[in-house]
Amino acid sequence: MALRDILIHPDPRLKKVAAPVPEVTAEIRRLAGDMLETMYDAPGIGLAAPQVGVLSRLLVMDCVKGEADPARPMVLINPEIAWVSEAMNVYEEGCLSIPEQYGDVERPAEVVVRWTDLDGKGQEERFAGLWATCVQHEIDHLNGKLFIDYLKPLRRQMITRRMVKLKRERARA
């Protein structure tokens, strides 16, 4: 497995709708492994393929919080939200493509998601709490949407300016 570079906003690839994965190939399995390694290394709790420059509908996540709790690395291929709760929840979100910037986002508190796993089998699960927020945030990435798109325009523009500056500094380093 290998670490992949995480794209930083603004980048046109983060605004694109990703294409469905037609088949779970060796390449897809390698991508998922690399993405998990990259996510844990960052460290982060979720990562979507477009964030490493691959415009495919695949995401990884692990929202286990406690250091003592066993990790739960998940790979979701072609995920679809099948149901959302009426109850909403506000979380302060961040994103590996928008480092060190945070904002409150309101989303359904619970969701049922269907996806294909690495064995090509259909899966379905109901997510709540941080898992629900994370899976919705990552599925947004597959549709070219970022958490800052939910913020007020002025706040979004401020964060984008900071990221432009960060990218300029990194390019110079």
List of residues contacting Ni ion (CB under 5 A): 95
In terms of CB distance, is 16 or 25 closer to Ni ion?
Answer: 16
CB of 146 to Ni ion, least distance (A): 7
Spatial CB neighbours of 114, under 8 Å, sequence gap ≥ 6: 79, 80, 82, 122, 123, 124
CB of 51 to Ni ion, least distance (A): 7
In terms of CB distance, is 75 or 95 closer to Ni ion?
Answer: 95
> What residues are labeled active site?
138
Closest residue to Ni ion using C-beta atoms: 95
CB of 97 to Ni ion, least distance (A): 6
In terms of CB distance, is 24 or 45 closer to Ni ion?
Answer: 45
Q: SS3 for 70?
A: coil
Sheet holding 122-128, edge to edge: 46-48, 58-61, 74-84, 110-116, 122-128
CB atoms within 10 A of CB 171: 7
